[in-house]
Each structure stands twice: as structure tokens, then as C-alpha cells.
Structure 1
Amino acid sequence: MSITVTTWSLEQTSPADQRPASVPDADIRIVRAEVPSPEFSRFLYTAVGGDIHWTDRLGMTYADWQEWLERPGVETWVAYDKGTPAGYVELQAQDEGAVEIVYFGLVPAFRGRRIGGHLLSYGVARAWDLADRWPGLAQTKRVWLHTCSKDGPHAMDNYLRRGFTVFDTKVEEEEGDPAAPPGPWPGAGI
């Protein structure tokens, strides 16, 4: 089966573009996962993306995850609600001062509680000051990301509210069944 997927690429080209969300009325802490942990990163990836068709990293081996997480300028920031992982944002430094928000999202049980805007705001701020934590990296000149029609229904609105603007749109056919996301682990129900 083939599905039509629209992918939008968005960017900020100045720290002044940021429009932070309000802090939610909850016990939310956002902490950088400083020790590369393939197990934890794969957990976050599948817990957040299992119901919205994130599949591109499912075939990565332990060594692939370790290699990715040890790259200079790759950071994972995790939002915790009363000590429970609620979502994450993953950053990657790229050439010429670009920083990509590679992954961002919330575990389904934490969606709709105003955590996403706060986490995205925090992650964008960490993208703009990434070089401060990684000597030798260029200062950030651009923060960018992409989202697609398979992502959550509020994703695009959250990005636009945080000050991102669309710079590219692509429409492609992909193999897949829109009614059958992989879930957080094999055999798991959504």
C-alpha cells in the first residue's frame, strides 16, 4: 500500500525568531542526557514515535546508536513529569553553524498537557547555544527541522507558534499502512 506524505522543512535564522511557550503548571524538568545510552535513546524514539509512524531508526543496531550519540554536537534533552520521561528533543550540529532538531515529541500519555510547547522552546534555546557546550563547533546561525503529515496533529502549529517559518515542502509517495503504526515495541497495542 502506498500513502501520500507531505514533508515541511522549517527554520529560524536568528535567536530573535524564538517565541517561547509558557511553562506548564506541572512538575516538569528538562535535563540533558549527557551519557550516551543507546537503550535509553531507542526507548525515547519508540515511545514517542511508535504511534506516529517513526520507523527510520528501527533497524539501527546498538553500535549504530552508540556511534550516533557520541558525535560532537549531538544532544538529547528529556522532559520529565514528576520523574517520568514525558518526551524529548534531539539536536545535531551540522556544517556552517546549522543545528537540526532531528527528533522532537512527547510520549502519548503526556500529549495535550502544554508540555510540548515548553519542551520545544527549551530545545530551540539549547540549539541556539549549542556551541557554548561544544568547543570547536561554529556558533549557531540557523536552527531547522522537518515535520510531515504523519506526525501528530498539533506539530506544525507548535513549530509555527515557536517562530519557525516554512522554507520547503515536498510531497512523496511512501510504502506503508497509515492505519498500522509500529507501536513502541513489537506486539504492543496503542
Structure 2
Amino acid sequence: MLGDGFHTIPAGKVAMIVTYLEMRQQVPITERPLPPNLTFRRVEADPLWFRDVFKRVGSLNWLWYGRLKLNDTDLTAILQDPKVEHYTLTKDGTDEALLELDFREDGVCELAYFGLTPALIGTGAGRCLMNEAITRAWTRPISLLHVHTCTLDSPQALHFYRRSGFTPVRQEVEIDDDPRIAGILPRNASPNVPIFDP
């Protein structure tokens, strides 16, 4: 347990505050039509598709990297699990969003990944995608829908989840190897987070 005060983060590492949020009953949603030229669809995800959308959604401006550490076998096991569902928003033939609903725990759905590429930011597509996420999660016999975000994600994410009906329940501090130093992401990824070479 961290004590009060400042704590030095070793060079070569990144530190983040992770906030966990829960929804214990379905909240009412305000229907929003999809913006023009967008299609919502379910995807039978494979590693190539997933990594492409994952990087464009979260690894250029933010520091999404966890799934990029997985090899094809381990990633495929998640993507092809019948209790894990993937959806996207397609614009002009290109998939520009990532939604992963994970039902592998009985009675629970994790909103495991949620995000838009820069092509859809500010269009209202995020609200439409969240409406789909909430609706689809609660069609199952669940008593909990949960999600987490961190300070390496978009600064709008936490507020957006709260406005969507999720309640923050706890926080953790996580320290990990900087994925840009480890070669998982390019050095210019997430320029808002400084790199401290060892």
C-alpha cells in the first residue's frame, strides 16, 4: 500500500491511476440516430483486424498497449471465445470504432474496450456506440456491467462513463514498463505522456 506523499517512478516506466466503474442496473438511454454514413455492425474479430482498430483508437494519441503484448495464439483465444463480442462503427468502408463486451464471468459483463478513432471524435458516434453497449449488455442475465479507465486514456473517458450511468467504485495506481521503450509502440505514440529513458 502506498503511503501519503510523492513516490518516484523509475525511469523506463509509466504510472497511471486506474478508475473502476460499475453499473448495477440498466440505466435509461436517450436514443440517438447514427451520424450519416456510419454503420454499426458485429465483427468476427481476428488478430489482424483487432490490432489495426485497437492501435487507431487508442495507441496513437493515448497509450493503449495491453493487448499488443499478446501473441497471436493468446489474442485469438480471447477474440474467438463465444462469450466475447466485438462491434464497430464503419464509415466509408473503414472500421473506426472498437467495442468489446466480455461475458466470460457469470452474471457479469465487462465493457472491456470502448473507443473511437479520431475520424469519429465529436460526431456523436460515441453516444450511439455506448447506447448499443448498454443495451446489448443488459439483454443478458447480468447483475453488473463494469468498465475501467486510466490516466493514460483520453481525459474525456472518465466523465463520459459517468454521464453514461457508471459509478466510480475504486482506484488503483499501476506502474508498468513504458511500451514505447519496450518497442511495443512507436516512440511518438501518446506525445502527452513523457518518456523517461533508463
Calculate the TM-score normalised by the size of structure 1: 0.81
In structure 2, relative to structure 1, the CA distance for the partners of 1:72 and 1:25 (3 Å cut) is closer
Match of 1:128 in 2: 138
Any conservation in 1 of the 2:65–2:179 contact (CA below 8 Å)?
no
In structure 2, relative to structure 1, the CA distance for the partners of 1:53 and 1:187 (3 Å cut) is closer
Match of 2:51 among 42, 49, 53: 42
Query: Structure 1 residue 89 and structure 2 residue 99: aligned?
Result: yes
- How much identity, in percent, do the aligned residues show? 27
Q: What residue identity is the alignment partner of 1:165?
A: T
The 5-angstrom pairing of residues 1-190 of structure 1 reads 1=11, 2-15=13-26, 17-20=27-30, 22-33=32-43, 35-51=44-60, 52-129=62-139, 131=140, 139-176=141-178, 186=186
In structure 2, relative to structure 1, the CA distance for the partners of 1:66 and 1:83 (3 Å cut) is same
Tell me the distance in 1 between the aligned counterparts of 2:75 and 2:174. 27
Tell me the distance in 2 between the aligned counterparts of 1:167 and 1:82. 39
In structure 2, relative to structure 1, the CA distance for the partners of 1:171 and 1:36 (3 Å cut) is closer
Calculate the TM-score normalised by the size of structure 2: 0.78
Q: What residue identity is the alignment partner of 1:42?
A: R
Tell me the distance in 2 between the aligned counterparts of 1:189 and 1:159. 24
CA displacement 1:122-175 (0-9 Å, x = unmatched): 11211112x4xxxxxxx1211100011111121112111111111111234444
Any conservation in 1 of the 2:63–2:189 contact (CA below 8 Å)?
no
Gaps of at least 5 residues in structure 1 are 132-138
In structure 2, relative to structure 1, the CA distance for the partners of 1:151 and 1:18 (3 Å cut) is farther
Q: What residue identity is the alignment partner of 2:24?
A: T
State the superposition RMSD in angstroms.
2.7
In the TM superposition, residue 188 of structure 1 has moved relative to its aligned partner by 7.7
In the TM superposition, residue 23 of structure 1 has moved relative to its aligned partner by 2.9
In the TM superposition, residue 177 of structure 1 has moved relative to its aligned partner by 8.1
Q: What residue identity is the alignment partner of 1:8?
A: T
Greater helix share, structure number: 1
Q: Which runs of 4+ in 1 moved over 6 A?
A: 187-190
